[in-house]
Amino acid sequence: MSSTPEIVLASRNAKKAAEIDVLLQPYGIHVRPVSDFPNATEVVEDGTSFSENAAKKARQTAKETGLWAIGEDSGICVDALKGAPGIYSARFSGPDATDEKNNQFLQEQLQDVPSAKRTAHYVCHVALADPSGEVRLHVERTCNGVIIREPRGENGFGYDPYFLIREYGKTFGELSPVVKKAISHRARAFGELIPKLLGENLFSQE
C-alpha cells in the first residue's frame, strides 16, 4: 500500500482519536477525526452490541465523507454488574455524563462488592468501511483487570484511573503510554486490524 488514502475516524473524542492516531502512524496511515468534516452528522449509537455500534459509525461516516472510515466502539464490562455498563459506558451516569460522574456512579454500584469480585474487562470493537459504506473488516479484543476503590494516575480517560492491571500492579491511569499502547484493548484490536488492512490490499481494490 504505497499510497494510503485518508481514513476518517468516526469519533469526536479527542483523547480516543489521539490514541488511535498513535497506533496507526507507524504504518503511514493518516487518520482524520470526523470533526474535520462539518457535514458529517452525529451517529446515534442505538445498537445492542459493540459490534453493531462500531459498524453503524463506520458505515454512516464513510457514506457522508466519501472516504474509508473506522468505527470504534469500546467500553468496560464489570462482572459483578452482569456486564454493565458495557455499550453504555460513556453515558453510564445519565444524559449529562462525564468521566467523573460515571466513575462515581460505578463506585456506588460496587460499594458492597468485595475487592476479589470487582473483576472487569475493557472491550474494543473496530469496523472498517469503504467509501460506499460497506463494512470490510471487523475485529474485537479485550483487556482484563479489576476495579479498585480509589483512582490512581493521571493518564488515560474514562474509567482508566480505576482499572487495575494485576500483572503490572498499576491502573491504566498509571501506566505509561508506551505500555498501554502494547496491552490495552484498543491496542490489541488495532494490532489485529492493521495486518489485515495492510495484507488484504483493500485500498487497491477501489
Q: How far apart are CA 114 and CA 112, in angstroms?
A: 6
158 is in an annotated binding site: yes
Q: Is 27 annotated as a binding residue?
A: no
The answer to whether 159 is annotated as binding is yes
16 annotated to a ligand binding site: yes
Is 160 annotated in some ligand binding site?
yes
| Active site members | 73
Q: Which residues pair with 78 in a beta bridge?
A: 120
What is the signed CA dihedral for 154, 155, 157, 163, rounded to 10 degrees?
Answer: -90
Contact 31, 17 (CB under 8 A): yes
Q: Is 180 one of the annotated binding-site residues?
A: yes
d(CA 133, CA 64): 9
Was 96 annotated as part of a binding site? no
CA 156 to each of CA 52, 63, 172: distance values in angstroms, whole numbers, following the listed order? 25, 31, 6
In degrees and rounded to multiples of 5, residue 129 shows phi and psi of -115, 145
102 assigned to a ligand binding site: no
To the question of whether residue 157 is assigned a binding role by annotation, the answer is yes
**In 4-131, which ranges are E strands?**
7-9, 31-33, 68-78, 119-129
186 labelled ligand-binding = yes
Cell 472487569, residue located: 120
Q: Which residue numbers belong to the known binding site for substrate?
A: 11-16, 74, 157-160, 180, 185-186
Q: Which residue numbers belong to the known binding site for Mg(2+)?
A: 73
Q: Which residue numbers belong to the known binding site?
A: 11-16, 73-74, 157-160, 180, 185-186
